[in-house]
Amino acid sequence: MYEVKPRNGDELHPLVGLGAYNRCFIQAQSDISCAMEDEAGRCIAGLVGWQADGLAMVDVLWVEEAFRGQGLGTRLLRFAEEAGRTRGARLMELNTFGFQAPGFYEKQGYRRFAALEGVIGQYGHYFYVKEL
């Protein structure tokens, strides 16, 4: 019998065959990740994202606390939107928790299309989309 064993996701991700399976259906796929560094070369903000055909997706958007409120997140998001758009994406999708940045994404023109309330303590998990 096959045994289920815990594994680290970063270690396991390349071993899982989903990427090869998905490539049978996705015509164009690319990485739209980007980052910003301080003068010392230390990452102070970053976005991890990808584009597949007509969809671009933000997995992670983060700005170090000391640098928030300076427009870095907006610049990263705009970069990823443009990267997705030039590669054929028509929509950008992302998700965030209530204690993170739902208001920020709404100011950037994203529309909430789903919500799971009270899933992390009192906070919800929100799903957004924007037409590119």
How many CA atoms lie within 13 Å of 108's alpha carbon, on the beta-carbon side? 26
Instruction: Look at residues 101, 104, 99 and name the one whose alpha carbon lies nearest to residue 118.
Output: 99
List, for residues 54-112, the tens digit of each pLDDT value.
999 999 999 999 999 999 999 999 999 999 999 999 999 999 999 999 999 999 999 99
**What pTM, to 2 d.p., does this model score?**
0.88
List, for residues 30-53, the tens digit of each pLDDT value.
999 999 999 999 999 999 999 999
- DSSP-assigned states of every residue in 60-103: EEEE-GGGTTSSHHHHHHHHHHHHHHHTT--EEEEEEETTS-HH
Q: 17: pLDDT confidence band, cut at 50, 70 and 90?
A: confident
